[in-house]
Amino acid sequence: MEIQSVKQRFGIIGNSPVLNRAIDIAMQVAPTDISVLINGESGTGKEIMPQIIHNLSHRKHNKYIAVNCGAIPEGTIDSEFFGHEKGSFTGASESRKGYFEVADGGTVFLDEIAEMPLQTQVRLLRVLESGEFLKVGSSKIQKTDVRIVAATNKDLPTEIEKGKFREDLYYRLNTVPVELPPLRKRREDILLIFRKFAVDFSDKYRMPPISLEDDAQQYLVSFDWPGNIRQLRNLTEQMSVIENRRSIDAQTLAKYIPRDGSRLPAVIAKDKSSGDFSEREILYKVLFDMKNDMSQLKALVADLMNRNSSISLSDENEAFVKNLSKEVSVPQMRSFEEKPRNEHLEYEILQAEKEQEDHFNTHEILEESLSIADNEKELIIKALDKHNNRRKKAAEELGISERTLYRKIKEYDIP
């Protein structure tokens, strides 16, 4: 089968050499049972490659299962992958088959493989090496014949260095790597993809398709597209629905992809707990700034003592001393226009340093009591008590995923 026919069959738009190379590798490896690792940024369309590999292989008549590893809670991921026996854990009212048992003879696509917990990585490695696995709560070894295709938008060697991904699993998955290029490395395809999306949304919303004027085309092609094809699709849909004028110029296009400010047209929701941590970070920054002010004061005073003559402060240092005196209640410093007595100067220096150190030490005690881990553990315990140890409800109360809650309970050894 030719590359062009594969593109038509799977709806792939573009003629970039780097894209054609990725498709060619997928076509060559498809008839084998070799594991494939697909690398690419978010939004590049990595989910298309395992479909090509499966449909061009001898497994095409068997099951194809796509799994997002980051979307499954850590406490249930082993059950989802390998199945479980009745009564193996709370809520297991009956036996269940996992993905590897259901897809026997077929293909399993593991998207976002870097999000898989280390314990599950060990079990996956056993499947890759021997085709064997154990159901949760069972001691009976089962065999499966599945082909595994994995994908990630992270740099796995870096994840290995951080201790978040197993090196032996990486080499088993990375038998044949397929690199899917970002949109900025296939700029010649941007206008083709835009026209395809414009026609699709024209049919969907029953309105004339939008088109780009020359200056808008240049603007579109020169943009880096950090969100890749997904971002381009969203932008095209927005303009198709919002803009009454169907011919788009650069000025109109700039409203959706401005050169300065946010590069992504979509608003990304933040974790609910991030606000609390940002407040703490601000507090820490204030405390560290106070400590730096104290160090600067000591350096300034030391410089004054070393000169031990008619002392005159620069405008910058004089302003700094005045501001610092207001903040830490340091007594008003004498005029340095005349030569001061050394004994009196040393007395004022010691008094200023003592008051500044006392003031900062008070905040150091406050900093020590602001342990994020302790506060986080206390909040988790309170949420679990409030909902009678129902972890799903507690996770909703805390604004985190159930998978994250399982990990935190294990990390803080909460009974």
What is the residue type of 122?
V
Is pLDDT larger for residue 302 or for residue 334?
302
Instruction: Quote the pLDDT of residue 396.
Output: 83
Instruction: State the DSSP code for 117.
Output: -
Name residue, tokens 């001061």: 340
| Position 17 pLDDT exceeds 50 | yes
- CA–CA dist 179, 188 (Å, integer): 18
Domain 187-254 has CATH 1.10.8.60: yes
Core vs surface per residue 226-249: b (16+ CB within 10 A) or e = ebbbbbbbbbbbebbeeeeeeebe
Instruction: Quote the pLDDT of residue 369.
Output: 45
Number of other CB atoms surrounding residue 366 within 10 Å: 11
Domain residues of the chain, as ranges? 3-181, 187-254, 274-369, 372-411
Instruction: Quote the pLDDT of residue 265.
Output: 41
Please list, in sequence order, all residues whose beta carbon lies within 8 angstroms of the beta carbon of residue 223, skipping any fewer than 6 positions away: 257
Instruction: Quote the pLDDT of residue 83.
Output: 93
What is the residue type of 300?
L
SS3 of 168, please? helix
| Position 306 pLDDT exceeds 90 | no
Name residue, tokens 């008839």: 31
Angle, helix 391-398 to helix 372-386, in steps of 10 degrees: 130
- CA–CA dist 336, 304 (Å, integer): 10
Q: Using one digit for the tens of pLDDT, what is the confidence trace for 169-210? A: 999 999 999 999 999 999 999 999 999 999 999 999 999 999
Percent of the chain past pLDDT 70, that is, above it, reads 74
Q: Measured between alpha carbons, how far is residue 305 from residues 101, 106, 281 in Å?
A: 80, 81, 36
Beta bridge partners of 6: none
Is pLDDT larger for residue 279 or for residue 156?
156
Distance of CA 267 to the CA centre of its chain: 15
Classify residue 12 by burial, with Cβ atoms within 10 Å: 0-12, 13-18, 19+: buried
Name residue, tokens 């941590």: 277
Q: 6-15, 129-138, 264-273: which has the minimum mean pLDDT?
A: 264-273
Instruction: Quote the pLDDT of residue 383.
Output: 83
Q: 95-99, 133-137, 377-381: which has the minimum mean pLDDT?
A: 377-381
| Position 7 pLDDT exceeds 70 | yes
Instruction: Quote the pLDDT of residue 271.
Output: 44
What mean pLDDT is predicted for residues 237-253?
93
Query: In this structure, are residues 127 and 133 in contact, taking their beta carbons and an 8 Å threshold?
Result: yes
Q: 45-49, 218-222, 387-391: which has the minimum mean pLDDT?
A: 387-391
Distance of CA 29 to the CA centre of its chain: 30
Q: 29-33, 331-335, 386-390: which has the minimum mean pLDDT?
A: 331-335
1.10.10, 1.10.3470, 2.60.40, 1.10.1330: which CATH number matches 372-411? Answer: 1.10.10
Q: Name the band, by pLDDT with cuts 50, 70 and 90, for residue 304.
A: low
- CA–CA dist 136, 151 (Å, integer): 25
Q: Using one digit for the tens of pLDDT, what is the confidence trace for 359-370? A: 545 444 444 445
- CA–CA dist 79, 98 (Å, integer): 6
* CATH architecture classification, 3-181: 3-Layer(aba) Sandwich (3.40)
Q: 196-205, 265-274, 390-399: which has the minimum mean pLDDT?
A: 265-274
Please list, in sequence order, all residues whose beta carbon lies within 8 angstroms of the beta carbon of residue 364, skipping any fewer than 6 positions away: 287
Query: In this structure, are residues 191 and 248 in contact, taking their beta carbons and an 8 Å threshold?
Result: no
SS3 of 200, please? helix
Instruction: Quote the pLDDT of residue 109.
Output: 97
State the chain's mean pLDDT as an integer: 81
What mean pLDDT is predicted for residues 238-248?
93
176-179/147-152 β-pairing: unpaired
Instruction: State the DSSP code for 141.
Output: E
Q: Using one digit for the tens of pLDDT, what is the confidence trace for 81-118? A: 999 998 888 888 899 999 999 999 999 999 999 999 99
